[in-house]
Chain A
Amino acid sequence: MSAPESGLIDVLGKTFPFPKRHFLSVLDLNPVEVSDLLDLADGFVALNRQTSKKLDLLKGRTLMNLFFENSTRTQSSFELAGKRLGADVVNMSPRASSISKGETLIDTAVTLNAMQPDLLVVRHASSGAASLLSQKVSCSVINAGDGQHEHPTQALLDALSMRRAFGRIAGLRVAICGDVLHSRVARSNVGLLQMMGAEVRLVGPPTLMPAEADRWGSEVYHDLRKGIEGCDVVMMLRLQLERMDGVLAPSQREYFRFFGLDREKLACAAPHVRVMHPGPMNRGVEIDSEVADDLAVSLIQDQVEMGVAARMAVLAALSARLDND
């Protein structure tokens, strides 16, 4: 692979500019960059299906996974993505170590920064944490989920799954359903899908809908059947069980009855509808197993596969900038 020029990525025979240092929010991207990242990720999907999956694009680079919140799925996805591009990967879970001794997020970041990582993947329970970190460290920061704010690589992998299933994103009608209020996945998806020309709807009980969500450029529905009517994609969100039992919804069974996706409700969507879920799923709460496991409609397993490819694309794109630093 030839050395990239200033701000250009040259991966898998494609060249395009990606001048960003960090990957914090989908709102930092433009449609051309998203398309390029998706093209790149498509190439990585093919690579990942080969017996020999390894590139040396990030050879000598160190990727640090810094997960203040546990997430086996996202963490291993980033770990695999890093390793397949040839980076050395270190996993840190500060929750178990220094953070409980009163060290602040910044202290931890500065300490880790001194170890000279090139890429820092951060998951934190507070909105804005990744952005804060990016101001204090000298490496690239990738937001792997900050509180209730954003989870941009999830939106990218969701877009990749949709584009591969439908051949396009523009014009798709997508319903994002469930606990929108607490969902960073929803926020990133709304931003990215709207940017790419999809029609996005938000569906959920009023207690799980952010204030003035109707001003996000999406129609808001409080009735699942009406909300998914004619939709190409139904994306279910995870509902934390502790938010039920009378706190934000009266009970699990009532929630499932009105907002859980089962075959009968799914019949309201378009005939070719595909179902998505960022995982991990609460079966029998927001989604019925019959729907989740039906490979004819469910993209849920694809999403996991696309996750590795999409994250490889992000790491590869950011590495172009690294080479110029």
Chain B
Amino acid sequence: MAPRPLALLNARLVDPASGWDGPGALLVKNGKIAEVAFGGDLGSLSDDIETLDTRGAMLSPGLVDLRVKTGEPGAEPKETLKSAALAAAAGGVTSIVVQPDTSPAVDDPSVVDFILRRARDIELVHVYPAGAATKGLAGERMAEIGLMRDAGCVYVTDADRPIVNSKVLRRLLAYAKSFGVLVAHRPADPWLAAGAAATEGELAGRMGLPSVPPIAEKIMLERDLALVELTGGRLLVDQITTACALESLERGKARGLDVTATTSINHLSFNEVDIGDYRTFCKVDPPLRGEDDRQAVIDALASGLIDIVVSAHAPAPAEDKRLPYDEAAPGAVGLQTLLPALLAFHHEGRIPLIDLMRTVTSRPAELLGLPAGRLAKGAPADLVLCDLNAPMIVDLADLKSKSKNSPFDGRRLQGVVRMTLVDGRVVHRAN
């Protein structure tokens, strides 16, 4: 039985697609947005409609997170699609793109199919697989990009692994373009980055940690941009985190290249000092950067040079984190903290709310051609209702992920997700 229609009243509607940030109301019916009243109300409502007075909470499209890792298939004790979906729902994230570096890797249409089937059974948030760009993520031979696209993968990537061979990436960009498939690539010079656990600089030097200079990101990005120019392909820059690489990105965009860039909430929220006394929960890949780089990344987000923010959700169980720093697994869970952590820039008055929300809703949705990410009549009712000013302290016990490796542990944030809807179904409701 379809749920009763739901009217969300007295909300602060934030819809980056239309540019609206103001009061309004919204009607959900049959899994779709049946009506949006920007600046007004819905008029008289029939008795069968359930109403909810949101008391001025933010109502926006649910978040679309382009970079999520789970452990399924292959490492289910770390994270399953279900536990990741629960975390997403609790964090107001209604669409997730799962990375292909599973075991087996998502380099075959049958694995794409497996993930989609599992996601359908779980019936929480939308799960979209990203396919491997190369067979076995080995960076050598192209995966079946066309077949995986038809099976439902939304872009291709070798996830954390840079594709070293320039000829392979050139062919990928050219081939994928003809299928309308986006290629995501991690800009990191693999030789400079080999074995690194931290960003090169005074701190890593003093701590005696193997480190990578920030320029390694720029070196690889410059090559990638040149190949985009050569092939006319579409590139998604997977997590830009340094000021020097931003210069390259800016020039590439100015030349009209079809390039979109993400950064992670970790690199917006933390700097290298947070690894402090070898705090492995802050070990991420790419490693946390210096404060100058973090500020440059925030500025680039504000100016729109960086298009999209991802959670870079990467579960790692305690046994993989409670190791000496250079041996510990990189990665941080982030689905549940993405929205409140991002809102920090709104509360600081640094970036307008609607611009922040664009980077996690309409912009990623448009990039992948998803129907979600907007408050429009007929669009899927993927929504998040968030009490912008409510304070919270991140407590690992509240995280739905099977792994609790959050660098935000104990951090004070502002913004509590009250309710998450996916296709009109309530998938999360705060107590």
Contacts and interface: CB of A to CB of B under 8 A. Distances in A.
B201 A211 contact: yes
B204 A147 contact: no
Given A147-B208, A184-B208, A215-B202, A106 B326 contact: no
Interface stretch (A55-63, A122-130, A306-314): A122-130
Given A106-B322, A128-B207, 4 more contacts: A127-B325, A147-B208, A210-B204, A211-B201
A216 B206 CA distance: 8
A105 B201 CA distance: 28
Contacts of A104: 319, 322-323
A131 interface: yes
Nearest to A181: B205
A113 interface: no
B114 interface: no
Contacts of A184: 208
A213 B277 CA distance: 20
28 contacts: A105-B323, A124-B324, A126-B324, A126-B325, A127-B209, A127-B278, A127-B325, A128-B324, A131-B277, A132-B278, A146-B208, A146-B324, A147-B209, A147-B324, A147-B326, A150-B208, A187-B206, A210-B205, A210-B206, A211-B200, A211-B204, A211-B213, A212-B201, A213-B205, A215-B202, A216-B202, A216-B205, A216-B206
B121 to A, nearest CB: 34
B214 to A, nearest CB: 11
A211 B202 contact: yes
Contacts of B202: 211-212, 215-216
Interface of A: 104-106, 124, 126-129, 131-132, 146-150, 184, 187, 210-213, 215-216
Report whether over half of chain A's contact residues are helix, strand or loop; otherwise say mixed. mixed
B207 A126 contact: no
Which 7 A/B pairs are nearest by Cβ-Cβ distance?
Answer: A126-B324, A128-B278, A148-B208, A210-B205, A149-B208, A127-B208, A212-B202
Contacts of B277: 128, 131
B53 interface: no
Contacts of A129: 324
B132 to A, nearest CB: 28
Interface string B310-339: 000000000100111111000000000000
B134 interface: no
Interface of B: 200-202, 204-209, 211, 213, 277-278, 319, 322-327
Contacts of B209: 127-128, 147-149
A106 B328 CA distance: 12
Given A105-B323, A105-B324, A126-B324, A211 B211 contact: yes
Nearest to B202: A212
A28 to B, nearest CB: 11
Contacts of A149: 207-209
B410 to A, nearest CB: 16
B205 A211 contact: yes
Nearest to A180: B205
Contacts of A126: 323-327
B326 to A, nearest CB: 5
Contacts of A211: 200-202, 204-205, 211, 213
A128 B325 contact: yes
A82 to B, nearest CB: 25
Given A127-B278, A131-B278, A132-B278, A212 B324 contact: no
Nearest to A24: B277
A148 B195 CA distance: 14
Contact of A212 (B205, B207, B326): B205
Nearest to A130: B324
Residue from the set A105, A128, A184 with the largest chain B CB neighbour count within 10 Å: A128
A132 B324 CA distance: 7
Residue from the set B206, B207, B277, B327 with the largest chain A CB neighbour count within 10 Å: B206
A129 to B, nearest CB: 4
Contacts of B319: 104
A261 B20 CA distance: 72
Contacts of B200: 211
A135 to B, nearest CB: 9
A126 B325 CA distance: 7
A76 B208 CA distance: 25
Residue from the set A126, A131, A148 with the largest chain B CB neighbour count within 10 Å: A126
Contacts of A212: 201-202, 205
A119 B174 CA distance: 63
A126 to B, nearest CB: 3
Contacts of B327: 126
Nearest to A127: B208
B189 to A, nearest CB: 16
Nearest to B203: A212
B28 to A, nearest CB: 49
Nearest to A212: B202
Nearest to B205: A210
B44 to A, nearest CB: 63
A268 to B, nearest CB: 27
A270 B323 CA distance: 45
A128 B209 CA distance: 9
B275 to A, nearest CB: 9
A104 to B, nearest CB: 6
Nearest to B322: A106
Nearest to B209: A127
Nearest to B198: A127
Nearest to B275: A128
Contacts of A147: 208-209, 324, 326
A216 B383 CA distance: 51
Contacts of B206: 187, 210, 216
A105 B322 CA distance: 9
A217 B431 CA distance: 54
B339 to A, nearest CB: 32
A120 to B, nearest CB: 15
Contacts of A127: 207-209, 278, 324-326
Nearest to A126: B324
A148 B278 CA distance: 13
Nearest to B210: A148
A324 B277 CA distance: 27
Nearest to A124: B324
Nearest to A211: B200
Nearest to A191: B206
A211 B206 CA distance: 9
A271 to B, nearest CB: 34
B199 to A, nearest CB: 9
A187 B204 CA distance: 12
Contact of B208 (A106, A132, A187, A216): A187
Residue from the set B204, B211, B278 with the largest chain A CB neighbour count within 10 Å: B278
A213 B326 CA distance: 21
